[in-house]
Chain A
Amino acid sequence: MADQDTQDSRLGFAVGENHISFEVDETVYPLEAVYGASYLFLEKCFVYLSRPRAAAVDVRLTAREAATPADLDALAGEFANELLSQATRLRLSQASARIREYYTAAALRAAAAAPSVDELLAELEAEELLEDPLEIMVPWEEKHGAQQNESDPKKDPE
Chain B
Amino acid sequence: MAEQVTFDRSLYLPEAVDAAAAAYAEHAKIEVTPAGDSVVVALSVIGEHDPQTVTNAFCNHVLYETIARMRQAAE
Contact = CB atoms under 8 A, between A and B. Distances in A.
Contacts, number: 39
B74 to A, nearest CB: 9
B67 A38 contact: yes
B19 interface: no
Contacts of B59: 1, 46-48
Nearest to A18: B52
Contacts of A28: none
A51 B67 contact: no
A46 B67 contact: no
Interface size class of A (residues with CB under 8 A): 10 to 19
Contacts of A35: 66-67, 70
Interface residues of B, number: 16
B8 A50 contact: yes
A47 B56 CA distance: 8
Interface in A12-44: 31, 35, 38-39, 42
Contacts of B46: none
A49 B8 contact: yes
B1 interface: no
Interface in B1-55: 5-6, 8, 10-12, 55
Nearest to A35: B67
Given A38-B67, A48-B5, A48-B59, 12 more contacts: A35-B66, A42-B63, A46-B56, A47-B60, A47-B63, A48-B56, A48-B63, A49-B8, A49-B11, A50-B6, A51-B11, A57-B11
Interface of B: 5-6, 8, 10-12, 55-57, 59-60, 63-64, 66-67, 70
